[in-house]
Amino acid sequence: MLTIENLEVVYEDVILVLKGVSLSVPEGSIVALLGANGAGKTTVLRAITGLLDIHRGEITKGTITLDGKPIHDLDATKTVAAGIGQVMEGRRIFTEFTVEENLRIGAHTAARGKVESGLDRVYELFPRLKERRKQIAGYLSGGEQQMCAIGRALMAEPRYLLLDEPSLGLAPLIVQQIRDLVVDINKQGTTVLLVEQNANMALSIATHGYIMETGKVVMDKPAAVLREDEDVKEFYLGLREEGAGSFRDVKHYKRRKRWLS
Ligand SMILES: Nc1ncnc2c1ncn2[C@@H]1O[C@H](COP(=O)(O)OP(=O)(O)O)[C@@H](O)[C@H]1O
Ligand SMILES: [Mg+2]
């Protein structure tokens, strides 16, 4: 179980962006972390993986534990060793290296013998990557680059995989493929924390969902309940009224709606 309790994060000593976030990711589950741009989703992931400091961020309060052991003091290399893998937003692959070189880089912490079996596993999950293993990653399509980024994270054999908006900017058909892959990865035993703005996709495969607004968790419910929630439907599932998309968050949207009626 990965557990975050009452987490506060400050950037550049002054900007408080997480204001007491609590969430938990049980072993074996897919948990969705949803919310509009700027809500703090990426910051939660950075806090888990020890990447806050390179962004001039710092945990000022709260704890992050993995199976009861604190991990909020670990640096990025140690969180990988603890079993946490991450695919950052914007699929940061090494564009001038080949697909296979990218995957091997992902395995740099693994024992030598494990690299080949890791490659086999990734190529089985992503036949496209196998076909293109000698190609320069920068020439792949957006969807293939996302697969390469996910494959690279899997090379370290994480127990927990954190995905930051894997569907961003991809065509609906490719989003479906990524969605199915996340399900496959989870079925093979990897726990997933899925950050998405595409609530539809995320809630269709998650067991539990958290919705964040401006640094706080405002909803914390089973995914099935969130899928049926009227506000979530209206605001996040694309069933909202015309023009509502310009509102910052559900609270703001509801206030406007009351005011207009
Ligand atoms: N390195 C940084 N320095 C200062 N502010 C930041 C930094 N990174 C993110 N922020 C701010 O923190 C808030 C949350 O950002 P982020 O975690 O990226 O949200 P999300 O991933 O939900 O879009 C935003 O207001 C963003 O501008
Ligand atoms: Mg983000």
Binned at pLDDT 50, 70 and 90, residue 252 comes out as low
Q: Is residue 94 part of a domain?
A: no
243 or 6: whose pLDDT is higher? 6
> Is residue 244 in some structural domain?
no
Give the residue, out of 43, 88, 195, 249, with the most ligand 1 atoms within 8 A of its beta carbon, to mutate for a pocket test.
43
Nearest CA to ligand 1 atom 24: 38
For a pocket test of ligand 1, which of 17, 42, 164, 217 has the largest count of ligand atoms closer than 8 A to its C-beta? 17
| Domain encompassing residue 8 | 2-83+158-231
pLDDT at 211 over 60: yes
- Residues 171-181 pLDDT 10s: 999 999 999 99
- State both tokens at 186: 């989870």
Q: How far is the CA of 40 from the centre of ligand 1 (A)?
A: 6
Q: Which residues line ligand 1 (CB under 6 A)?
A: 11-12, 15, 17, 35, 37-43, 55-57
SS3 56: coil
CATH of the domain at 71: 3.40.50.300
Distance 222 CA to ligand 1 centre (A): 26
Ion ligand 2 residues within 5 Å by Cβ: 42, 89
Residue 79 belongs to a domain:
yes
Nearest CA to ligand 1 atom 18: 42
Chain mean pLDDT for the chain: 90
pLDDT for res 90: 83
Counting the structural domains of the chain, the total is: 1
CA atoms within 13 A on the CB side of 42: 15
- pLDDT higher than threshold 50 for residue 163: yes
Report percent pLDDT > 70 for the chain.
Answer: 89
Handedness of CA 161, 49, 237, 140 (dihedral sign): negative
Question: For residue 64, which of 94, 23, 30, 117 has the smallest C-alpha distance?
Answer: 23
As a whole number of angstroms, the distance between CA 192 and CA 183 comes to 9
In a domain, 250, yes or no: no
Report if residue 248 sits inside a domain: no
CA of 91 from ligand 1 middle (Å) equals 17
The segment with the largest mean pLDDT, out of 14-23, 111-120, 195-204, 241-250, is 14-23
Query: Helices in the chain by DSSP H: which ranges?
Result: 41-49, 76-81, 99-106, 112-125, 127-131, 142-154, 172-187, 199-205, 223-228, 230-236, 250-260
At residue 229, the pLDDT reads 87
12 within a domain of the structure (yes/no): yes
With respect to residue 43, please indicate whether it lies within any of the assigned structural domains: yes
Measuring CA to CA, which residue among 51, 54, 59 is closest to residue 75?
A: 51
User: What residues contact residue 257 under an 8 Å CB cut-off, 6+ apart?
Assistant: none
> What are residue 60's phi and psi, to 5 degrees?
-105, -10
215 within 8 A of 16, measured Cβ to Cβ: yes
Cβ distance 240 to 252 under 8 Å? no
Quickly state the pLDDT bin for 194 (edges 50, 70, 90).
very high
- Beta carbons within 10 angstroms of residue 11's beta carbon: 15
Beta 160-164 vs 191-196: how paired, if at all? parallel
Could you tell me the pTM of the whole model?
Answer: 0.90
Q: How far is the CA of 54 from the centre of ligand 1 (A)?
A: 13
Integer Cα distance of 186 and 213 in angstroms:
27
Q: What is the mean pLDDT of residues 213-241?
A: 82
Position 214, amino acid: T
Q: Is 36 within the bounds of a domain?
A: yes
Q: Which of 88-92, 183-187, 228-232, 246-250 has the lowest mean pLDDT?
A: 246-250
